[in-house]
C-alpha cells in the first residue's frame, strides 16, 4: 500500500502577480459590438481608431470581412455575425486560430484573440489571496458551527478532550487567515 501525504489546508502553490504587459486592458483592442453599433461593420465604411498609447488603425468594412490597416501592415479579419433570437450579435474570427470572438487585441503589431496573444483580464487576478482567505475562513468556521462571516465571534471551546486539539487547530488557522484578510500577514504580500 502506498503512503499518501496529506497537505495542510491552504498549503498549495502560491501564484505570482500577473505581469501588467500580459493584461488585456493594457493593449489596444477592437470591439466588434462597439464597431457594429457605430456602423463600422457596414460595407464600404472606413473607421479610424486611435488609442491612448498612440497606436492608430484604420478599419475598412466589406460585406463579410474587415480590413485592418496599421502603419506596418494590413490584416484581413472575417466577420462572424451570430443570430440570437431576433437580434444579430456582431463577432469576428481570430485570424490566427479562427475562434469566434468579440475582441481582437493588438500584440506585436497584429490583431488576434486574447488567447492567441497569451493575455488575460485583470479582474481574474485581482485580490486572489483576499478572496481565497474569505473562502477558507467560511469553510473553517462551518466546521466549528460558527457564523461564516470573517471576524465574527467563535463558539466557546468544547469541554470534551477529543475535540480540544481539533478546535485549537481550526481556531489557529482561522486567526491566521483573518490576519491575511486584514493585511497583517506579510507572507502573502
* Sheet order of strands, 74-78 included: 46-50, 56-61, 65-69, 74-78
Helices (H), 83-160: 114-117, 128-144
Average pLDDT over residues 138-166: 84
Instruction: Return the percentage of the chain with pLDDT > 70, whole number.
Output: 85
pLDDT digits (tens, 9 = 90+) for 7-28: 554 455 555 667 888 888 889 9
Every domain of the chain and the residues it spans: 21-123, 127-188
Average pLDDT, the chain: 82
Average pLDDT over residues 164-182: 86
Higher pLDDT, 11 or 70: 70
SS3 161: helix
pLDDT of residue 188: 44
The region, left, alpha or beta by phi > 0 then psi within -120 to 50, assigned to residue 108 is left
pLDDT digits (tens, 9 = 90+) for 77-120: 999 988 888 888 889 999 999 999 999 999 888 899 999 999 98
- Contact in structure between 119 and 23 (CB atoms under 8 Å): yes
Q: Is the pLDDT of residue 6 over 70?
A: no
Average pLDDT over residues 161-178: 85
pTM: 0.58
Q: Cβ of 66: how many Cβ atoms within 10 Å? A: 22
Average pLDDT over residues 18-42: 87
Q: Is the pLDDT of residue 181 over 70?
A: yes
Question: What residues form DSSP beta bridges with 170?
Answer: none
Q: How far apart are CA 186 and CA 91, in angstroms?
A: 45
CB neighbours of 96 closer than 8 A, spacing ≥ 6?
112, 113, 116
- Burial class of residue 61, CB neighbours in 10 A (0-12, 13-18, 19+): buried
Considering only CA atoms, which of 128, 122, 31, 119 is closest in space to residue 77? 31
Q: Is the pLDDT of residue 30 over 60?
A: yes
pLDDT of residue 130: 65
pLDDT of residue 152: 87
Cα→Cα distances 7→29, 69, 136, 161, 171, Å:
43, 54, 15, 25, 18
Average pLDDT over residues 123-130: 66
Q: Is the pLDDT of residue 189 over 50?
A: no
Amino acid at each position: 500500500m502506498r503512503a499518501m501525504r496529506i497537505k495542510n489546508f491552504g498549503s498549495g502553490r502560491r501564484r505570482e502577480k500577473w505581469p501588467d504587459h500580459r493584461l488585456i486592458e493594457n493593449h489596444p483592442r477592437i470591439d466588434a459590438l462597439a464597431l457594429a453599433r457605430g456602423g463600422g461593420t457596414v460595407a464600404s465604411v472606413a473607421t479610424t481608431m486611435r488609442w491612448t498609447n498612440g497606436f492608430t488603425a484604420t478599419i475598412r468594412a466589406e460585406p463579410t470581412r474587415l480590413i485592418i490597416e496599421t502603419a506596418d501592415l494590413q490584416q484581413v479579419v472575417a466577420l462572424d455575425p451570430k443570430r440570437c433570437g431576433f437580434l444579430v450579435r456582431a463577432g469576428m474570427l481570430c485570424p490566427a486560430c479562427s475562434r469566434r470572438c468579440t475582441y481582437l487585441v493588438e500584440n506585436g503589431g497584429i490583431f488576434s484573440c486574447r488567447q492567441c496573444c497569451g493575455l488575460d483580464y485583470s479582474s481574474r487576478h485581482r485580490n486572489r489571496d483576499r478572496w481565497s482567505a474569505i473562502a477558507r475562513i467560511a469553510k473553517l468556521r462551518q466546521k466549528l458551527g460558527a457564523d461564516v462571516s470573517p471576524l465574527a465571534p467563535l463558539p466557546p471551546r468544547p469541554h470534551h478532550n477529543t475535540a480540544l486539539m481539533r478546535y485549537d487547530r481550526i481556531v489557529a488557522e482561522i486567526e491566521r487567515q483573518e490576519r491575511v484578510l486584514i493585511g497583517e500577514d506579510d507572507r502573502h504580500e
